[in-house]
Structure formats: C-alpha cells, structure tokens
Amino acid sequence: QSFKLLGFLDVKSVPCARESVLYGSLGSFVVGLGHFLATSRVRRSCDFAVGGFICTMLGYWFYCRYNLAQHRIRQRMLKEGMRNKMLFEGSSLDPERKHIGNERNDS
C-alpha cells in the first residue's frame, strides 16, 4: 500500500522519500522540544519544529540523492568494466596479456 505525502509524493516508490520524512519528523521533534524547553513558548516552538522538519527533510533528501547518484555511477562503471573484460579477455587488447608478455621479454 502506497502513501502519498501532500497528494503527489509517493513515499513508497520514490527513492530516499521515506527516510527523508522519517528523519525530518525526528528533527522536527528535537528542534521543537529543545526550543520549548529553552523558552517555554509553545507557538514559537511549533514554528521552530516546522522549520526543523523542512530543513532536516531537505538536508537528508539531498544527501541521500547524492549518495544514490554516486552509487549508480559506480555500478555503471563496474558493469561496463566487466563487459569490457569479457570482450577483451584473451585478445591483443587485453591489458593483463600485454603486461605478462612484457615480463617474459624482459627476463
């Protein structure tokens, strides 16, 4: 069962959305409670809690999406490297074969 935040953000299918909302809720609670304990002003603490939610959620969203993009780039490079290894293995373009051939000529 999917859960749509604000009517359009499907938390289940969008990467990093679930974690961002959870960390945003935790950040909201910490900032709001901390401000309330420091000042004892309820309305102002609620304002700080909303701001804490937005800042924490957006901060973790960008952090998570950046790491996801880095992970996908590494996966793509590894997949391409494995494909090239299979294509060039045993041929004259194989870097390992050239390296072994040079060692034999040097001896």
Q: Which domain holds residue 70?
A: 16-86
DSSP code per residue over 48-104: HHHHHHHHHHHHHHHHHHHHHHHHHHHHHHHHHHHHHHHHHTTSTT-HHHHHHHHHH
By percentage, how much of the chain surpasses pLDDT 90? Answer: 54
End-to-end Cα separation, the chain, in angstroms: 67
Total domains, the chain: 1
Distances from the Cα of 98 to the Cα of 9, 80, 93, 94, 106, angstroms: 53, 21, 8, 7, 12
pLDDT of amino acid 9: 67
Asked whether residue 10 is domain-assigned, the answer is: no
Judged by average pLDDT, the poorest of 18-32, 55-69, 89-103 is 89-103
Question: What's the token pair of residue 84?
Answer: 């090239």
Question: Contact 38/6 with Cβ under 8 angstroms?
Answer: no
95 pLDDT more than 60: yes
Q: Choose among 79, 24, 76: nearest CA to 50.
A: 24
pLDDT of amino acid 99: 58
Crossing angle of helices 42-88 and 17-39, in 10° steps, is 150
pLDDT of amino acid 102: 54
| pLDDT tens for each residue of 38-89 | 999 999 999 999 999 999 999 999 999 999 999 999 999 999 888 877 777 7
